[in-house]
Amino acid sequence: MKYTRITVNPHQMGGVPCIRGLRIPVATVVAMIAEGMSVLEILDSYPDLEKGDITEALQYAAEAVREREIPLVGIS
């Protein structure tokens, strides 16, 4: 998938993936969803964001997790 709303600039925010060159990291958006915030609440908190930014941030995060092995606690 090609991401048109996710940018990485080594001179901005330490090079972490951000939304459209804004200083809003993808991880921040994903964390807000994980904490139970609605899309409307996020848009209210960050007026520069658009609904499509949130959707693409979640898609990007899903792809990032798909490409890595993350250690989990095993079930005994």
Domain boundaries, the chain: 6-65
Question: Is it the case that residue 1 has pLDDT exceeding 90?
Answer: no
Please, what is the end-to-end C-alpha distance for the chain in angstroms?
37
Cα–Cα distance, 34 to 52 (Å, whole number)? 17
Of the chain, the percentage scoring pLDDT greater than 70 comes to: 89
Q: What does pTM read for this prediction?
A: 0.85
> Is residue 29 within 8 Å of residue 35, measured between CB atoms?
no
CATH of region 6-65, choose from 3.30.470.20, 3.90.245.10, 1.10.10.10, 3.10.110.10: 1.10.10.10
pLDDT band, very low/low/confident/very high, at 27 (cuts 50, 70, 90): very high
Q: Please tell me the distance from the alpha carbon of residue 73 to that of residue 33, in angstroms, as a whole number.
A: 23
Report the alpha-carbon distance of residue 70 to residue 54 in Å, rounded. Answer: 23
Looking at residue 70, its pLDDT comes to 66
